[in-house]
């Protein structure tokens, strides 16, 4: 009988979206398939630099019980160049590197240095076909430009962003007779929160004035603490509030659930538990910024309205890669941001950005883009509440396009195949 040697698995990832929506389901699937015995399978997570990092990625990764060791992005250059971690980790003779965010060349370099095999999860584009051992890709389109001699390295696994808990999606299926709960998801990055939170609070005030029975809740991103979140509703800290005619609020603590309270008396409950699938599945509809939130809501079958406010065009500095670095440079960052964002807004104003619409190649959830006004968005939202058949249609469409679960399990199967 062949004995399989113990291996190290290295997870390479970068920003908060990848850490929460890609790494979490993958490491769970790895443990489900490969077992919990750390003497056989040891999982290490190494972060690579990311301009959108929140600084809490290490904390989030350490909260995943499947991961044994975590290193922050500030130590990555030393590891890339010399193969040394900050705590001088030991490495087993056999190993597999799984790319879940960053630059696809990183696993090539690290794999060669350590003599490990490499697996790249490719969402839209796969690179270094001749240097990577296996690719787990989102769909067949990723393989369109692959030379025939490398196609055997590619496996279509599906979209990791739909790895939400499907058993909760049924809870959101038919909620016409339940109390109305509206989820507010303003994002986790400063550029989105500065405009998104005060705007959504103002929208909520209009909605509650029209229907006092409606309740509101914010699932707080794991990269945020409550004080930081509340600061974006404080006019002495956030000057963008005035630009969007947003509502201000203060953080209030109760014996049960903390909440934000606006000047009108509106209370928006805050829920730091993560993941927030149970809360989201109870929502009649959500107002959300673009990003990973739209994928998770889509996977749960929760109706949504996607908001992208452009009142302060240079405030959007949440781009990835070199663009993100350029627009955050001192002195020159603001004018560069205005130029870049003007070009990008013209390009993307006619393109769908919400994940369910990308999956479906059509608009199944409304995307509101431009100089958004709270009253207009509130009236738009109330129309959905007054016409539950529209919500039912959106739920049905979301269930059809969210795709089958199993991407993480298929990726784990690739890793299992490599170690055999």
Q: Domain coordinates of the chain in residue numbers?
A: 7-163+405-419, 166-401
Q: Distance from CA of residue 277 to its chain's centroid?
A: 13
The string of pLDDT tens digits covering residues 206-218 is: 999 999 999 999 9
User: What sections of 349-373 are H helices per DSSP?
Assistant: 355-360
Dig out the tokens for 150 from the structure.
């490398």
The string of pLDDT tens digits covering residues 143-187 is: 888 999 999 999 999 888 776 555 444 444 445 556 899 999 998
pLDDT of residue 336: 63
CA-to-CA distance for 305 and 296, rounded, in angstroms? 14
Q: What angle do CA 222, 226, 232 make, to 5 degrees?
A: 105
Identical fold, 7-163+405-419 and 166-401? yes
Tell which CATH classification among 2.30.30.140, 3.40.50.2300, 3.40.50.2000, 3.30.160.20 matches the domain 7-163+405-419.
Answer: 3.40.50.2000
**C-alpha R_g of the chain:** 22
The string of pLDDT tens digits covering residues 305-339 is: 999 888 765 445 555 455 555 556 676 566 766 66
Global pTM reads: 0.69
CA-to-CA distance for 78 and 86, rounded, in angstroms? 8
CA-to-CA distance for 15 and 215, rounded, in angstroms? 31
How would CATH label the architecture of 166-401?
Answer: 3-Layer(aba) Sandwich (3.40)
């Amino acid at each position: 009988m062949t004995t399989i040697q113990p291996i190290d698995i290295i997870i390479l990832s970068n920003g908060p979206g990848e850490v929460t929506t890609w790494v979490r389901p993958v490491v769970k699937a790895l443990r489900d398939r490969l077992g919990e015995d750390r003497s056989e399978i040891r999982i290490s997570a190494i972060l690579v630099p990311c301009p959108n990092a929140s600084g809490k990625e290490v904390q989030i990764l350490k909260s995943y019980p499947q991961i044994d060791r975590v290193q922050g992005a500030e130590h990555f250059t030393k590891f890339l160049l010399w193969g040394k971690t900050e705590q001088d980790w030991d490495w087993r003779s056999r190993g597999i590197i799984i790319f879940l965010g960053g630059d696809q060349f990183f696993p090539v370099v690290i794999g060669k240095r350590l003599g490990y095999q490499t697996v790249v999860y490719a969402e839209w584009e796969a690179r270094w076909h001749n240097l990577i051992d296996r690719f787990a890709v989102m769909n067949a389109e990723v393989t369109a430009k692959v030379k025939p001699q490398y196609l055997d390295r590619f496996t279509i696994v599906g979209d990791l962003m739909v790895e939400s808990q499907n058993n909760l999606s049924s809870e959101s299926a038919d909620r016409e007779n339940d109390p109305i709960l509206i989820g507010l998801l303003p994002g986790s990055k400063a550029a989105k929160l500065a405009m998104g939170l005060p705007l959504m609070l103002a929208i909520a005030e209009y909605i509650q004035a029209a229907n006092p029975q409606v309740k509101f809740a914010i699932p707080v991103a794991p990269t945020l603490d409550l004080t930081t979140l509340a600061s974006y509703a404080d006019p002495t800290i956030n000057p963008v509030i005035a630009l969007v005619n947003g509502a201000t609020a203060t953080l209030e603590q109760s014996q049960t659930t903390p909440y934000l309270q606006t000047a009108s008396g509106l209370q928006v409950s805050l829920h730091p538990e993560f993941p927030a699938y149970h809360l989201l599945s109870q929502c009649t509809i959500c107002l959300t910024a673009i990003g990973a939130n739209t994928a998770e809501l889509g996977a749960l079958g929760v109706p949504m309205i996607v908001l992208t406010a452009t009142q302060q065009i240079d405030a959007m500095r949440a781009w990835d890669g070199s663009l993100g670095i350029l627009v955050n440079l001192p002195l020159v960052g603001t004018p560069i941001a205005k130029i870049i964002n003007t070009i990008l807004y013209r390009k993307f104003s006619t393109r769908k950005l919400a994940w369910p619409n990308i999956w479906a190649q059509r608009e199944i959830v409304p995307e509101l883009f431009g100089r958004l006004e709270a009253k207009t968005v509130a009236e738009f939202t109330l129309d959905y509440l007054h016409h539950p058949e529209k919500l039912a249609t959106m739920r049905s469409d979301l269930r059809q396009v969210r795709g089958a679960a199993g991407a993480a399990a298929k990726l784990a199967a690739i890793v299992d195949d490599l170690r055999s």
